[in-house]
Amino acid sequence: MSYKARIKNNICTNAHPKGCYYNVHEQVMDALDNRINTDLDGKTALVVGASSGIGLASRIALSFAYGMDTLGVYYERAGQAHKFGSAGWYNNQALEYYARRSNRTALSTNQDAFQEKAKDWVIQKLQQQGKKLEVLVYSLAAPRRSIEGVGDYQSTIKPIHENFTGTTLDIVKGKLRPLQLDTATPEEVEATVKVMGGEDWQNWVIRLQKAGVLAENFKTIAYSYLGPEQTQAIYGRGTLGAAKRHLHETAIALDQKLKGIKGRAHIGLFEALVTPSSSVIPSLPLYISALHQIQKQRGTYESTLDQVLRMYRDGFMQNDNDIKIRVDDIERDPITQKRVNELLEMVTEDNLKEIINVDDFRQAFLKQFGFEHDFIDYENKPDPLMPPATCSFEYRSHLSEAV
């Protein structure tokens, strides 16, 4: 029986275990290729939102490039004997497996990061090990948040000031489809800020600080995106932009709160990347397709892990004085933006695939869920509980004993 990707509204609802394990394996190998000798080796980092996209790449970088022990908080559908888990769950199984093989500690909890129980779990693990936290990465991209005794909040992706009319990319069909979005209500803006703003990040830091588990010179970072004019109607000037502005304000407040332990709080600004989260933001898949096409033509393309490693190497781990740490310079390059705009102005439903390689975006998107790998036989349904140890991949010879 075949096992193929199931996609609805640019969301992939299933995952292939072996393909997910391979994705993590490849990033681990890349991180080992970029090992950095610092005093963080053997110290402890926490990644909140650790199972996919930038959060997963961050944990891989911290563990395998910086040699840190890691704690991870994620909220995913676990695999069962007759039911497949989500991509994030398989990613985490692989990360823990490769960490064990390289004598690194990687402990994880599968629960809602917004809840106090998740924070309690982290504190308990640190106290049991007699360790302090050196780094906290906040990379949560959740659609909803429940606050006990208050209510439930659902994030929305809408413009704020005026209705939006445009086009977006249907990843499955590789076609453009019309898009119309009404402006968000004040309640929708507030709910999106509650879910995707900085309140929970601040809750994490304050809770951990009160528990006495933050090390001196502790660093924390939350991730954001600014983007060029092409993305502003829905992103920057929309509900997501409101949430990200709140995140930036939180970074400034936290930076002051952490002065007592010589700590720092930063905002990390990435370029537009292919992630499960970015794929559901209207109009962004088409823009990213054009952006990455131009970047690859110019030889300036960076993967998600490349971006994380550069942010850490050149900014975050250097205790830079600027609260904002940016690696979106390649996206903002004037020549790149000029060429991207030219592509987007030329494209129509009829000439889409002639102008922009949308199949490249589709493949990159599906690979994050374990699909579109040439070496995997998708005509045969895999075991939902297939362990990473049963999957052998070709190791680079000089690193064959590292993982």
Q: Catalytic amino acids?
A: 235
The tokens for 310 are 């550069």
Read off φ and ψ for residue 384, nearest 5 degrees: -60, -25
Contacts of 372 (CB under 8 A, 6+ apart): 5, 19, 362, 363, 366
CA 403 from chain centre, in angstroms, equals 23
Q: Is the dihedral of CA 291, 293, 294, 297 positive or negative?
A: positive
DSSP 8-state class, residue 397: G
- E strands present in 89-247: 106-110, 133-138, 144-147, 151-154, 164-170, 175-181, 214-224
Report d(CA 138, CA 144) in Å as an integer: 16
Closest to 188 (Cα-Cα) out of 237, 235, 236, 154: 154
- Rounded distance, CA 218 to CA 259, Å? 10
The one-character DSSP state at 77 is: P
Residues with Cβ within 8 Å of residue 151, at least 6 apart in sequence? none
Which residue matches tokens 């500690």? 105
Helices 17-33 + 87-101 axis angle, to 10: 50
The pair phi, psi for residue 118, each rounded to 5°, is -65, -40
CA distance 226 to 146: 27
Question: DSSP letters of 98-142?
Answer: HHHHTT--EEEEES-TTSHHHHHHHHHHHHHHT--EEEEEE----
Amino acid letter for position 167: T
- The amino acid present at 364, given as its one-letter code, is A
DSSP 8-state symbol, 78 = P
DSSP, res 356: S
